[in-house]
Amino acid sequence: MRISANLGFLYSDLPLPARIRAAARDGFDAVECHFPYDIPAAALRAALNETGLEMLALNTAPGDLAAGEFGLAALPGRRDDARAAVAQAVAYGAEIGAAHVHVMAGRSGGGDGAEAAFRETLAHACDLAAAQGMGVLIEPINRRDVPGYHLHSVEQAAETVVALGRDNLRIIFDCYHAQIEGGDLIRRFEAHLPLIGHVQIAAVPDRGEPDGGEICYERLLPAFRAAGYRSAVGAEYRPRGGDTRAGLGWLPRLRAALAAV
């Protein structure tokens, strides 16, 4: 399994191109990010080319964060804005060679028309991404951290993916969110494995380095690998001490655990 640095949280004291170089220096195999749009795509592409790292995924723009928005795709009445965010992400992703776009559902509160709006936006995203040879990801996000988020369970995400039937649409199985929204990670992962395109890790409940908290990733990720998962694992955590490099002791231990499978 490749292990990817999520640059939305890691190396946050550095400009985004420098974060890519830092991730390469510290032994990550790939990178992923949240919202890179303030940085010229050419600067990111140069850093990726220099380091040889692949950008696995970037998020669609979240909307107005100050107003409480956290994604647009499942918001009835925001169709045009959601499509614009998808178009921006696909175009930017294509320019930097990203493998996937994560389409953020948003805080719909489960209201009328939300799932229909989400599926319509996803179908459009899959069409745009396919034309660039890219995939689309959706991520269940727990409602303790993001109240009202439309997509909050792996099971709900699976229903959406199956209903759309698009070859380039897959689920992010974020172990942090899935543990908070139901637990039973190995069984739920195995049940949905054919629909899973990416895995993310962090400690529960503090979302710190993945060598703490209630999930033992040195046992969990080898179980995922034994089940047949071969795609990447994204380290999407908030360093407890603020210094990413100081907290990377988990990385060689996790690699050793995976090598033993």
- What structural domains and CATH numbers belong to the chain? 3-259 (3.20.20.150)
Confidence band of 110 (pLDDT split at 50, 70, 90)? confident
Is a pLDDT exceeding 80 seen at residue 261?
A: no
| pLDDT on residue 112 | 82
Q: In this predicted model, what pLDDT tens digit does every residue of 12-69 receive, in sequence order? A: 999 999 999 999 999 999 999 999 999 999 999 999 999 999 999 999 999 999 999 9
Q: What are phi and psi of 136, to 5 degrees?
A: -120, 135
Cα–Cα distance for residue pair 196/216, rounded to 1 Å: 20
What percentage of the chain reaches a pLDDT higher than 90? 96
pLDDT of residue 30: 98
Closest CA to 9 of 22, 255, 116: 22
Q: Model confidence at 169, in pLDDT bands (50, 70, 90)?
A: very high
Q: Is 102 helix (H, G, I), strand (E, B) or coil?
A: strand
What is the spatial distance between Cα 189 and Cα 201, in angstroms, rounded to a whole number?
A: 13
pLDDT at 111 over 90: no
pLDDT at 254: 96
pLDDT category at 260 given cuts 50, 70, 90 is: confident
The string over 193-226, giving b where at least 16 C-beta atoms fall within 10 Å of a residue's C-beta and e elsewhere, is eebbbbbbbbbbeebbbbbebebebbebbbebee
CB 204 within 8 A of CB 215: yes
Whole-number Å distance between alpha carbons of 12 and 237: 11
pLDDT above 70: percentage of residues in the chain: 100
CA dist 164 and 160 (Å) reads 6
- Is residue 6 pLDDT above 90, yes or no? yes
Vertex 43: Cα angle to 39 and 47 (nearest 5): 125
Q: What is the mean pLDDT of residues 90-113?
A: 94
Active site residues: 139, 236
pLDDT band, residue 150 (cuts 50/70/90): very high
Structure tokens at 245: 């490099």
Nearest 5 degrees, angle CA 154-CA 159-CA 161? 90
| Distance set, CA 114 to CA 77, 133, 134 (Å) | 10, 28, 25
Least confident of 103-117, 158-172, 204-218: 103-117
Angle between helix axes 79-96 and 114-131 (nearest 10 degrees) is 30
